[in-house]
Chain A
């Protein structure tokens, strides 16, 4: 029961990481570069939600503002920077994304200050389910994440644009000769990426605090989950986020709290040694 409780503790953290990893992996799969601004897009979403929540008192309105705002922000980053750099080496895109992340972080710092802010949500006692203490707020956040994930996977697997996105991710050249317009796919992908980051950022903000650095500091676990899940695999990213979150918490009785972060990287190493493409990744031929 003790371990089950630890696992529950890890699930919520895993969901935040998983959402970040989903945003990262979508860009990785389709635009083919690691987007280091993912964390800061999450922070932007958290601030957008916080501002609207303070003004209106409604978390629902806050999340709509966060998703909308961050989606537009991600699209703007694409239109102004990444689009112009398309076809350059991965390194130039990566460095550009670090720069964009830096600008977002600095902008938030100037606009909101560096002091921490919090969502004023009512605190509630946990409910007991079969001996497990579960926080109602966590349940709500998990539900929000589940809805967001369902929406993303519905777009990816049930709509024409989703099919086109997956086609580009699979084989860009083949997609192009089949008449898929990269422009539309990219626009859709960046909007989704921004929205997913925003949900992750908002969850993180509600669970912890909001400061300009919160998203940036999540970047390492997000990258780890992306790699573990198999680069470019949306399902893998979410599952890997959850696996890492739960593995970290369940390991604490054995390795202590100081080394739990290292442990998630041990899991990552072990999986990659046995399965270099990640949990859900596919082997790609070198072109």
Chain B
């Protein structure tokens, strides 16, 4: 936390210096496209936010190094959502009204994205986010088709859970969901996919946040004798639930989304309680050329492997694909740019992995950007379908055993 805050202050200082330095401002003149990097630098998203923001900046640098998009340089204005909808709305207002950004990139957590998207819709600019809530695909949130999701929807997560449960041979799954759009989205997606496979769900519970104990909820679920419990949960409630479950002594397996079953959870509960939990997270497009470019940038900025932050690969793709669409549209008019996003991201067309490569190929014809986070093909809702990794917690470590595709 301390490092990220310091880094955040650093990025503010850098941003302030950029604005203050007259030479830079003069050099860029009017032909600049401003993009907002609105990431969860502090709060629950803190472990990811700083890397996400730096990858937007790094991708923009790559675009500028290749001569800019449609002849214009990209300028990034960074803000922190604090992983908090109120703070995110204030920051988004500032980005849109004061900085006059042409797009907002990098929001994380469904509550934040759902709060920000009305503002970007009103401004007529795209919002590219890493949130899972199904509500972000459809009106009213995405009434104008300006929302683009680089993370899997909770519904897709649910489908991945069902694939993994089938692969592991579970017969009697039960579900537990945190009462919000994301939590219920996960378990409903699972139930739908599981029933389509002809299975049945023996019990399902939706629970409230901020309870001192979830023992009654657990009693109800465990009474149905499930062999696995699939959750749509967050780290705080997962910590409490798993601790109370372990104390009951009833053996059962768990399938938990990656943002809840992470190293922090293992640290909180210890290796014994978390042994055998299956953590499911979307995985980056690790074999792709684009991932290599992202990985190099991430290692340079964060001194860590790019595989440590799936969301940073998403923000790298956001900036790259947006710049390609601007290049293809030949204008910074966002209505025209948004219309081109699917054209540069989806098949068919020449496969490209970087902005420079794409800019070159656009002169010859259509392109298909294969991203670092996924193959990045937007469906009619602006959603993508990444692959999912099944990580087993073994001896206090998350080990990825296999990747599932849905």
* A-to-B contact residues, CB < 8 Å: 5-6, 9-10, 12-13, 16, 113-118, 120, 123-126, 133, 135, 204, 207-209, 211, 214, 217-218, 249, 252, 256-258, 260-261
Contact = CB atoms under 8 A, between A and B. Distances in A.
A261 B208 contact: yes
Contacts of A118: 239, 268-269
B121 to A, nearest CB: 29
Nearest to A217: B210
Contact of A249 (B216, B243, B246): B216
A28 B47 CA distance: 41
Given A113-B1, A115-B1, A116-B239, A252 B216 contact: yes
Interface stretch (B38-46, B50-58, B105-113, B336-344): B38-46
A12 B212 contact: yes
B141 interface: no
A257 B215 contact: no
Nearest to A214: B210
B18 interface: no
A126 B206 contact: no
A123 B240 contact: no
Contacts of B219: 5-6, 9
Interface in B154-208: 179, 205-208
17 contacts: A6-B216, A6-B219, A114-B1, A114-B43, A115-B1, A116-B236, A118-B239, A135-B247, A208-B211, A209-B239, A211-B236, A217-B210, A252-B216, A252-B217, A252-B220, A257-B217, A261-B208
Nearest to B249: A125
Q: Which 10 A-B pairs have the closest CB atoms?
A: A113-B1, A217-B210, A13-B212, A118-B268, A9-B215, A9-B216, A257-B207, A208-B240, A249-B216, A209-B236
Interface string B241-273: 001001111000000000000001000111001
Contacts of A252: 216-217, 220
A116 B268 contact: yes
Given A114-B1, A123-B246, A123-B247, A260 B208 contact: yes
Nearest to A5: B219
A253 to B, nearest CB: 8
Contacts of B215: 9
A218 B239 CA distance: 18
B374 to A, nearest CB: 28
Contacts of B399: none
B235 interface: yes
A124 B47 CA distance: 31
A113 B2 contact: yes
A249 B214 CA distance: 10
B145 to A, nearest CB: 33
Question: Which of B210, B246, B248: most chain A CB closer than 10 A?
Answer: B210
Given A116-B235, A116-B236, A209-B239, A12 B206 contact: no
A257 B239 contact: no
Nearest to B207: A257
A208 B212 contact: yes
Given A9-B216, A116-B268, A258 B208 contact: yes
Nearest to A252: B216
A209 B247 CA distance: 16
A139 to B, nearest CB: 13
A218 B206 CA distance: 20
A114 B268 contact: no
Nearest to A133: B248
A169 B211 CA distance: 32
B205 A257 contact: yes
Contacts of A207: 212-213, 240
Contact of B42 (A114, A133, A135): A114
Nearest to B244: A135
Contacts of B249: 125-126
A124 B247 contact: yes
A126 B273 CA distance: 15
Contacts of B209: 217
Interface string B346-360: 000000000000000
Nearest to B84: A114
A13 B240 CA distance: 13
A43 B247 CA distance: 25
A10 B243 CA distance: 17
Contacts of A204: 212
Given A6-B219, A116-B268, A257-B208, 9 more contacts: A9-B215, A114-B46, A115-B46, A116-B235, A123-B273, A209-B240, A218-B210, A252-B216, A257-B206
Contacts of B246: 123
A12 B43 CA distance: 29
A115 B213 contact: no
A260 B210 CA distance: 13
B216 A257 contact: yes
Interface string B28-68: 00000000000000111011000000000000000000000
B14 to A, nearest CB: 22
A6 B215 CA distance: 8
Contacts of A217: 209-210
Contacts of B216: 6, 9-10, 249, 252, 257
A199 B44 CA distance: 26
B239 A13 contact: no
B208 A115 contact: no
Contacts of B1: 113-115
